[in-house]
Amino acid sequence: MAHLWSGRFAGDPDAELFAFGSSFRFDRRLFEDDVRGSRAWAAGLARAGVLSAGDAAAIEEGLAQILQKGMDDAGFVTPDHGDEDVHAFVERELITRIGDAGRRLHTGRSRNEQVAVDLRLYLKRRIPDVQRAIAATIAQFVELADRAGDALMPSYTHLRRAQPVLVSHFLLSHCAALRRDVDRLGAVLHEVDELPLGSGAIAGTAYPIDVTGLAEALGFTRIARNSIDVSGDRDFVASFLHAASLGMVHLSRIAEDFILFTSEEFGFFELSDAAATGSSLMPQKKNPDPLELVRGKSGRVVGHLTGWLVTMKGLPAGYNKDLQEDKEALFDAEDTWVGCLRAVSSVIGGLTPNAATSARAAAGLLLATDVADYLVAKGLPFRDAHEVVGALVRRLLNEGRTFDELSPAEWRQHSPLFGDDVRQAITPLASIQKKQTPQSTSPAAVAAALADTKDWLARQLPHK
Ligand code: ARG
């Protein structure tokens, strides 16, 4: 078979080496982007007077047919014909359909910029889908927060009980991280929004192409600054992989929290039967497999980022075939991320809060900060209050008791500032109600945060 570059060679490439270098197996995912880029390029060539109106019309018609066939027939864009990559596939199909006019399409253009434009077009259409999948996960958290109502739980630092919080406050903490992921993808979209065409193989193109018009036609707002840079630039792939890695780190931490909080030891939430699996041996087991898999898959996405940075780091300026490695990393990261978002959404959607259990864990010595604040309100410097309460905690630990079991006289043994009002002041509910700042767990602040998240959700792109 003749390849796009066969003219220069006396013999055929080694079949195994050709297969080794071929990317069609995975870059056929760029099919519609490649056709789109080629349609715009043909129109650009025609506007520049390089293609006759007749040839341009034939190319447009041929590419439209190819796109249609690709959409209608799932078996059409397949590696059966021995094409090297998706660009070769589309060009061969075009020439088969329209002959000579098709052979003029590649005038002034290179696959080096073609693959760059395809990948950018691909991300421009796929990133919004990933953003929607993140928003759908946030929606499940919001729904669970509504169901949790005014339930309390402990918050943790060092995985030791820290202070009481509303369960909804904990749930919204994960929404905050997920919203950053949406924003980060917005920044990747901005980076991607640059037209590489007009760069040729590396030095630019010798035809008077109106790149501004081409950018407009393809929906890019900026033109690449430098043709050499275009040829070898895959920074935007690294940026996407970074966004995906952090997104997966967030999902992994979510998974870890719910693996813990649905365990017998915590029991703050009950996992739905649909989101768990049993043991082949131990009849009592209800395992959180989907969450464990999400946590596990984060490793491979972080691996794609690391691998890709290492691939880029030693490359000389301009295109190098190493760059072909970008696509499998990118596609797998995207698939893994979206798959994990769906899994997490479904697990979160099936959780039942166990308010009684989590509230029980939110009472006891984790109110120590509130006791110290009580003394501060009576005028004691905080550092002194901390010491008083520290001693009190030591005593209670020795005696196996908690604050609410102390008599007024026992309180006063530790400080004369403790009045009879201390009993009502030191409860989990009083603790959250005392919080004052907008990012705190005060019920008013959490209600506002929940409303804000719902507002944000309503402003996200609707599902297609
Ligand atoms: N399949 C190639 C890639 O993914 C397309 C660019 C090929 N360019 C070249 N000069 N061989 O990078």
Q: State the Cα–Cα distance between residues 405 and 246, nearest whole angstrom.
A: 45
Does the Cβ of 324 fall within 6 Å of ligand 1? yes
Give, as one character, the DSSP assignment of residue 14.
P
Does the Cβ of 320 fall within 6 Å of ligand 1? no
| Contact of 132 with 461, CB cutoff 8 Å | yes
Report pLDDT digits (tens) over 173-205. 999 999 999 999 999 999 999 999 999 999 999
Closest CA to 89 of 99, 100, 76, 101: 76
In the reported structure, the alpha carbon of residue 245 is separated from the centroid of ligand 1 by a whole-number distance in angstroms of 26
Does the Cβ of 323 fall within 6 Å of ligand 1? yes
In the reported structure, the alpha carbon of residue 21 is separated from the centroid of ligand 1 by a whole-number distance in angstroms of 9
| Active-site residue, from 272, 279, 431, 463 | 279
pTM across the whole model: 0.96
Q: Which atom of ligand 1 is nearest to the CA of 321?
A: 12
199 CB-side CA count, 13 A: 27
| Active-site residue, from 3, 23, 158, 345 | 158
> Which residues does the chain have with pLDDT short of 70?
1, 463-464
Does the Cβ of 23 fall within 6 Å of ligand 1? yes
Does the Cβ of 117 fall within 6 Å of ligand 1? no
Dihedral in degrees, nearest 10, Cα atoms 252, 253, 255, 256: 120
CA 275 to chain centre: 22
Alpha-carbon distances of 456 from 176, 182, 229, 416, rounded to whole Å: 11, 11, 37, 50
pLDDT at 299: 98
Does the Cβ of 319 fall within 6 Å of ligand 1? yes
| Contact of 232 with 313, CB cutoff 8 Å | no
Name the amino acid, one letter, at 317. A
- Residue 444 makes CB contacts below 8 A (sequence gap 6+) with none
From atom 11 of ligand 1, which residue's Cα is the shortest distance away? 321
Phi–psi pair at 430, nearest 5 degrees: -60, -35
Does the Cβ of 86 fall within 6 Å of ligand 1? no
174 is catalytic: no
Q: State the Cα–Cα distance between residues 318 and 93, nearest whole angstrom.
A: 29
Q: Is 156 left (phi over 0), alpha (psi -120 to 50) or beta?
A: beta
In the reported structure, the alpha carbon of residue 191 is separated from the centroid of ligand 1 by a whole-number distance in angstroms of 21
Among 33, 85, 237, the mutation site with the greatest number of ligand 1 atoms within 8 A of its Cβ is 85
209 CB-side CA count, 13 A: 26
- Token look-up 């996200």 returns 460
First vs last Cα of the chain: how many Å apart?
A: 41
From atom 3 of ligand 1, which residue's Cα is the shortest distance away? 324
Structure tokens at 37: 């880029």
Collapsing DSSP to helix, strand or coil, 318 comes out as coil
In the reported structure, the alpha carbon of residue 115 is separated from the centroid of ligand 1 by a whole-number distance in angstroms of 7
pLDDT at 266: 98
Name the amino acid, one letter, at 291. L
Does the Cβ of 111 fall within 6 Å of ligand 1? yes
Among 8, 22, 114, 115, the mutation site with the greatest number of ligand 1 atoms within 8 A of its Cβ is 115
On the 0-12 / 13-18 / 19+ scale of CB atoms within 10 A, 149 is: exposed
Among 111, 113, 308, the mutation site with the greatest number of ligand 1 atoms within 8 A of its Cβ is 111
From atom 2 of ligand 1, which residue's Cα is the shortest distance away? 324
279 is catalytic: yes
Q: Which atom of ligand 1 is nearest to the CA of 86?
A: 1
In the reported structure, the alpha carbon of residue 26 is separated from the centroid of ligand 1 by a whole-number distance in angstroms of 13
In the reported structure, the alpha carbon of residue 50 is separated from the centroid of ligand 1 by a whole-number distance in angstroms of 25
In the reported structure, the alpha carbon of residue 100 is separated from the centroid of ligand 1 by a whole-number distance in angstroms of 24
Q: Which atom of ligand 1 is nearest to the CA of 23?
A: 1
Closest CA to 353 of 343, 362, 366: 362
Report pLDDT digits (tens) over 123-148. 999 999 999 999 999 999 999 999 99
Structure tokens at 144: 């669970």
In the reported structure, the alpha carbon of residue 318 is separated from the centroid of ligand 1 by a whole-number distance in angstroms of 12
In the reported structure, the alpha carbon of residue 342 is separated from the centroid of ligand 1 by a whole-number distance in angstroms of 33
| Separate counts of helices (H) and strands (E) for the chain | 20, 6
Collapsing DSSP to helix, strand or coil, 344 comes out as helix
pLDDT at 79: 86
Report pLDDT digits (tens) over 9-30. 888 888 899 999 999 999 999 9
